[in-house]
Structure 1
């Protein structure tokens, strides 16, 4: 595996053009750019991070359009995920807007969601999560995830952690954009630092939602 040397800006330009012309003709004519400026750097990056975080899955560039009104054939970003538990782990993405990193639980089975809410309801575990999220927010991360508009069943609206209890998924992400270091080998270290900052959230979620 070649060493990671950064994400070329040509990859960002490729996705900007793909957003304007999401066609097989454009893809076929520019596939080499995607391979050299997106696919190959992503493969090298996750290989570099594997010892610290685990084996990554690199997503296919093709969209599943079977049940979508949008029949655009290609994704306008390239992502990779390292799973630490079902639906939980670290994420990295390159797109026209640049680099995005994230982590957390992006969806949940009914059993996982019940376990998550039980942990949030618990004064000790719930306080742990609040502290983890506060630290991430102070570091510039944005807390995300699907949320109920109303309270979940079994909880009152005046619960001290009602906003967390509304979560059906829970993530934290950081939009880097296109900093000067994106095209350099040091980008791997910046991503590694961000994933380490996300580790407490990823590990907390994995621990409380683990299948018994």
Structure 2
């Protein structure tokens, strides 16, 4: 695979073309570029970070599973993967490249029922402070939540915004219109993960993996994104 050499400006154009023509014909005609400049370089980026932080890399298939989907578009419009079991956390550290740029983040995505029970029992000022610190450092909250208070929790609870969450994820995105250099890409992803690491450590300690589900397709063992 070789060392990560950065993304050239054509990566954004490739994804924009796929968004405009999400077909097997487009993908087939541009597959060589995808394999070399998109998937190949993205995989090299995660491999470089794994060499530094430890852990295992998984890059997901570009093909969508459309068997039960209303949208029959055959391809995902981002290339994404995980680094799991790193020195930062056993949970999944997420990265992706798309027309919107290079993204990185982590957290607990779509927590299972047993995780939500533990999470809501443990939410405290420490978690609130760690989330606030990550946001102040430039990360965005990618979290998902309920429209109202969970059952049994008063709407005026001082930590209601955290208690409403069903996913706790943080990350950020860097546009790639002019390309992204190798060092720049590695630093961006690594420092995003490190900035989110205190929140992830709290989740690892107080929530942990689900015993209900074991596939990342339903939430990375409900740990990390």
Q: Normalising to structure 2: TM-score of the pair?
A: 0.85
Match of 2:158 in 1: 160
- Stretches of structure 2 that go unaligned for 5 or more consecutive residues are 212-225
SS in 2 for 1:155: coil
Of Structure 1 and Structure 2, the greater helix share is in 1
Quick one: which of 105, 110, 116 aligns to 1:102? 105
Match of 2:13 in 1: 13
Q: Normalising to structure 1: TM-score of the pair?
A: 0.90
Per the TM alignment, residue 60 of structure 1 is displaced from its structure 2 partner at its CA by: 0.7
Alignment of structure 1 residues 53-202 onto 2, 5 Å: 53-83=54-84, 88-120=91-123, 126-178=124-176, 182-202=180-200
Distance 2:55 2:18 in 1: 31
Distance 1:60 1:91 in 2: 15
Summarize deviations over 1:5-64 as a string: whole Å, max 9, x none: 112222221100000000001101100111111111111111111141521221110111
SS in 2 for 1:73: coil
Summarize deviations over 1:163-195 as a string: whole Å, max 9, x none: 100001111121211276713333212211111
Distance 1:8 1:59 in 2: 21
Distance 1:66 1:181 in 2: 35
Distance 1:141 1:38 in 2: 25
Match of 2:201 in 1: 203
Per the TM alignment, residue 198 of structure 1 is displaced from its structure 2 partner at its CA by: 1.2
Per the TM alignment, residue 89 of structure 1 is displaced from its structure 2 partner at its CA by: 2.7
Q: Structure 1 25/180 Cα, relative in aligned 2: closer, same or farther at 3 Å? A: closer
Between 171-180 and 29-38, report the one with greater CA deviation: 171-180
Q: CA RMSD in A?
A: 2.0
Match of 1:3 in 2: 3
Summarize deviations over 1:117-147 as a string: whole Å, max 9, x none: 1111xxxxx1111111111111121112221
Q: In the comparison of the two structures, how many residue pairs are matched?
A: 206
Contact 1:10-1:33 at 8 Å conserved across structures: no
